[in-house]
Amino acid sequence: MTVPEVDTDTVRPPAAEQASRPAQVARSKSRMFGRDSLVTAAKAVAGIAGLFVVWELLVVVFDPPEFLLVGPVSAFAELIERPEYFATNTFVTLQEALAGFALGTALGVLCGAALHYSATIRSFLYPALVAIDTIPKVALAPLFIVWFGFGFESKAFVAMAIAFFPLVINTYDGLGSVPNELQELARINKASSWKKMTKIEMIYALPSIFSGAKISISLAVGGAVVGEFIAGSKGLGYVILLANSQVDLPSMFAAFIVLAAIALALFFIVDLAGRKLVPWKNHAK
């Protein structure tokens, strides 16, 4: 009995084929992710451009007085005319927002973890946090100014106060989202509390933490502006107040556009960081 010859050049061993399949899938997903990202970015740009077009058309059609409403063309002309003025104040607000976001993230994650791991802390602190969060942050801003003065620190702490709460809630919910099966597996394998936290619970909490961070980063920008409204001598909040006192709507709307651009850019940076650090969330979708 003769054994038929097998052409090894055309038939790949099953093991090799199986080994190469994940790499092919990964490359395919990478290409798809790149195309999807470009399409998403193009749609976002088109949407923002469409909003500006509608805004300008409304101004042209209804022709309101300049002290009531101006179009984006006037606002962008103001940005082009005084780029250094807006750049300097934008940098101030950006520093305050990032400092507040960093503080809010650190404290929010720590506080959320404390609520999850300690029933005693949760029973005392959780209701108090909810009550404090209901206080308008504009009302807290003068208190921070009394404590920290009129400088950079008070604005950063206002931004921190606004960015703090979403991270507390999202961290607490994320740490509690671990499936019971994994909890039982950790118990059977006698995993220490530290390993259970770092290897299982924090991994499951990361998507929720990044979701909270995307909310908090935009709120931090608004918090910095709130602090500048109360006691600012520079920053985009101060630009808005000054423009309001002079009925200078082009400068005011220019500051609005810059604030929106900052918040949008920071949001997408945090979102991109989440996609890089939590890739399994996107693959699960």
Res. 87 pLDDT band, cuts 50 70 90: very high
pLDDT of residue 104: 92
pLDDT of residue 281: 64
pLDDT of residue 35: 67
Q: How does pLDDT run across 147-183, given as a tens digit for each residue? A: 887 888 888 888 998 899 999 999 998 888 888 888 8
Cα separation, 161 vs 213, whole angstroms: 14
Entry pTM: 0.78
pLDDT of residue 183: 80
Exposed / middle / buried, residue 179 (Cβ in 10 Å: 0-12, 13-18, 19+): exposed
Q: What does pLDDT average to over the chain? A: 82
pLDDT of residue 258: 94
CB 48 within 8 A of CB 42: no
CA distances from 164 to 44, 50, 278 (A): 28, 34, 22
pLDDT of residue 77: 92
Res. 227 pLDDT band, cuts 50 70 90: confident
Cα separation, 139 vs 267, whole angstroms: 26
